Amino acid sequence: MRLLLVIPAFNEQDSLGGLLTEIKALPAPDGVTFDAVVVDDGSSDRTQEVARANGARVLRLCRNLGIGGAVQAGIQLAHREGFDAAVQMDGDGQHPPAELVKLIVGLQLPDAPDLVVGTRYREGKDNFRSTAMRRLGSWWLKAILRITGGLKISDPTSGFRLYGPRALRLFNRTYPYDFPEPESLAMARAAGLTVTEVPVMMRERQGGQSSISGYTSIYYMLKVTLAVVLAYFRTPKRPRPEAPDAAA
Ligand SMILES: Nc1nc2c(ncn2[C@@H]2O[C@H](COP(=O)(O)OP(=O)(O)OP(=O)(O)O)[C@@H](O)[C@H]2O)c(=O)[nH]1
Ligand SMILES: [Mg+2]
């Protein structure tokens, strides 16, 4: 199985080197080979140089497309070059490469899910501290996804995710522009894809600055809520089989 690691990075010069070093040191699981691509669309720091210096392939877009455009560019690359799957992971180091294997494991099962979300909230004890506002936002999105699409995902904003072949085909064509994670889950559901989750460890961003703060988070909640509800109306009204838990 050929896997492409898609790493969106916007001004992540402080974290990217460490992340890519960890990826290089990672033993590939049996039957899996992986390549990494850093998608940089207009960083004003040394993100691109750091990526190249650490041996990563760099997809440099001519203008800033936001996180959704960056991720979709990586997905389109995976699709065009015939990769079997892609894993999205943040360039800020929040997603430990050692956890990757937990996402991959389900793909090799006969009833492989189309999309596997790494969740930070299902490790028994919570392995990740986030602010009360973010937790509230996550709770709300979780509820909306459940009510509208019947999706049971405990970490709807997680950007640590695996896209199988059908998800690559879908998101090659269309992917949300900004704050894409919850909306893309609703889109996957609407398109009849199976979505599952596995518990993973996450950590704090290793440097740089978050793209979500202050007023953007209010816009985020409104926009994503509307988008998820609208995706529901596009959903064909027929029952869908549940995906097996990839951790099982
Ligand atoms: N290429 C590209 N990457 C982006 C853009 N916006 C954000 N990213 C990257 O997408 C990843 C996720 O963005 P973050 O700002 O860390 O969002 P987050 O992880 O939800 O927020 P924190 O928990 O505060 O880190 C990071 O690696 C960013 O560098 C963008 O416009 N273009
Ligand atoms: Mg982050």
Phi, psi (deg, nearest 5) at residue 140: -65, -45
Where residue 123 falls among pLDDT bands split at 50, 70, 90? Answer: low
Which ligand is located closest to the Cα atom of residue 157?
A: 1
- pLDDT of 248 reads 42
Nearest to 87 by CA among 2, 160, 16, 19: 160
Whole-number Å distance, alpha carbon 89 to ligand 1 midpoint, is 10
Question: Which CATH number is associated with domain 2-234?
Answer: 3.90.550.10
This prediction's pTM: 0.90
For the beta sheet containing 85-88, the strands, ordered from the edge strand earlier in sequence to the opposite edge, are: 57-60, 33-40, 2-8, 85-88, 161-163, 115-119, 195-199
Count how many Cα atoms sit within 13 Å of the Cα of residue 136 in the half-sphere of its side chain.
Answer: 7
- The string of pLDDT tens digits covering residues 61-98 is 999 999 999 999 999 999 999 999 999 999 999 999 99
Enumerate residues with CB within 5 Å of ligand 2 (an ion). 90, 92, 94, 205
- Distance of alpha carbon 112 from its chain centroid, rounded? 17
Which ligand is located closest to the Cα atom of residue 47?
A: 1
